[in-house]
Structure 1
Amino acid sequence: MAHTLAAVFVLRDMAERARHDLITAGLPGASIRLHDAGSDDISATENIRRDDSDSLLDNIKHFFTDLFGGHADRHIYAEAVRRGHVVLTLEGASDADIQRATDIVERYAPLDIDAHADHWRAGGWQGMPQNDSAMRQGASMQSSAPSQQGTSAGNLNEAAAASQQFAGGMASPSPSGTGANVRRYPSADNLPGTSYDDEQYYRNHWSSQYASSGGRFDDYDPAYRYGHSMAGSDSYRGRPWDEVEADLRSTWEHTYPQSAWDNFRAAVRHGWERITS
């Protein structure tokens, strides 16, 4: 499986040195990019308007969503860019290359994004939705311990694993010898998440069904993606909703304990029917 590596730096100079060493080590330069508020990588893709801070932040978030799927860390990387930091990414790398790249990048003192995110939240940052916070906590546990996916044997175990992979691909356990400040994620192309067209479709549905009640799209997005992903998984493909709902509910409540099933059931089912209908 291909992976994406990500690390955050205070100074662009340090990020550029890390990129230079990665290329010197034989890693493909086209796959190694630096992202900041003025970078061509982001502005060319997202057409950022630099005179509009809200637009800037939204577009940066979309950029990292494309890169990491629905993983909750995308909010932290976007906030890091907004605060003037530089994010280095290596895309489409093998396990062996990720290991080599991590050893190289750590020479240049990348930031501890967990500590910085905690500091930003203490200062009033509200950029990470509650649902994503739950996903992120699971990812943090996985980065330092063996996977604990699932709550029981059989389909529920497989469903829990699939739902965690779908949820942006929780950060894989760090390879032996790697540090906490360089993260790896399954490449977005390997995730059973949603495409840009699907996201627009779900945004439109959210706008017509839930926006008027005060619910945010970021609150409903995990539910849409969960239903979308599970409908295409090997465990549930071709099975009717009524037959699998109990399993999906159990897995949802285990994966998102702060998000009541009854509040998001309809959105999960809509994502499911997007695939099955």
Structure 2
Amino acid sequence: MENTVVGVYDSYAQAQNVMNELLACGFSRDEIQLSPETSDRTSTQTGDAGSGQHSGIGHFFRSLFGMEDEEDRQHHDIYAEAMRRGSCVVTVYAANEQERERAVDVMNRFDAVDISERESQWRSQGWTGYDQSAPMLSDSEIEKDRALYGQSRTQSMDTQDMGTQHMDTQQSGETRIPVVQEELRVGKRAVQRGGVRIYQRMTEKPVQESVQLREEHVNVERHPVDQPATEADMNALKEGAIEMRETAEEPVVSKTARVVEEVVVGKEATERTENINDTVRRTEVDVEQMGASDRSATGATTAADTSMTGAGMRDMGRSDYADTAMTSDDSDYRTHWQNAYGTSGGRYEDYDAAYRYGSTAAGSERYKNYRWEDAEPSMRSDWERDHPESAWDKVKDAVRYGAERVTGRQQRH
């Protein structure tokens, strides 16, 4: 399997798109394997069935990796476990190195799963290897498993970002703030849009025509006569026979075929221009000069605000955190919490991040000119992405209070 490329995807639709793109790039259907072959996961078998016969995933990966050494068995276990957890596997058998690189490029464009990261996450949860007797995960179990993976991946990225920032500060005495800008790239691919299928069949219908037919009949009549015989009568007095035949017409049917219509099937190619409307993001860095009296408050608030996730920090830009350096005193937040949430139980610490998030967002360029009604959907999306463990409806009043405290548009709730 020197030129064999294997890609793992979290949805059947995603894997099907990869296969269609590979076909459009010139690979034949015999060179591409999609497992499972249908989106119906209930029909997929995860191990050996019956009297030792291989089926489903087990048979496929044994034929792919061979199971000849420990490395082959490890590959078998990892990919088989991915399918047990609801992923799909696309395999391409490339004829040479050039085709292999082309297949890798296509698979990466569709966000193939980093199987090494998945394996590390599984092992951190206690997974020790593929168990062929283990059942397929249900839809709810798959959703939970991927949510845990996304959460652990975000935490890992945040840790790396903080570690990099700390290292730069310690080694060079300066902090580097990256300005990130997205670029929009639009490509195209051929997809099936339908077509026509023409059937040719024979039909019969009854027809009726009229024809005149002529028939002849022989009539024999006897009449009594009493007269002298003439010479002609005497000459006829001898033996003989007279024949008179009857004739009749009968219909004769014949058929002739004529071409009465033609069906012409062809294709017409047209071109159209489609405008792609999307958004690209860019981080903006604002520098604010602070006096000596602001330093202590800034340091205290910045330390508290680092409890927010790295994803949120990257979305709003590092400079936005400077805007939250209003005061290190959270007594105003605690007073609001006591009035709004105190009777429902819980702790102030459960809402502290929400107050900080609202004040940070309101001080950023992204939201400073928005009304709460306009900004809430976007702020809710960011919050639920970065804090999946905290429901928006539970903390939105705290977020709003933190935002309105910065803008000076506080309302009574």
Same fold (TM over 0.5): no
TM-score in terms of structure 2 length: 0.26
Relative contact order, CA 8 A, sep 6+: which one is greater?
1
Larger relative helix fraction: 1
TM-score in terms of structure 1 length: 0.39
Larger C-alpha radius of gyration, 1 or 2?
Answer: 2
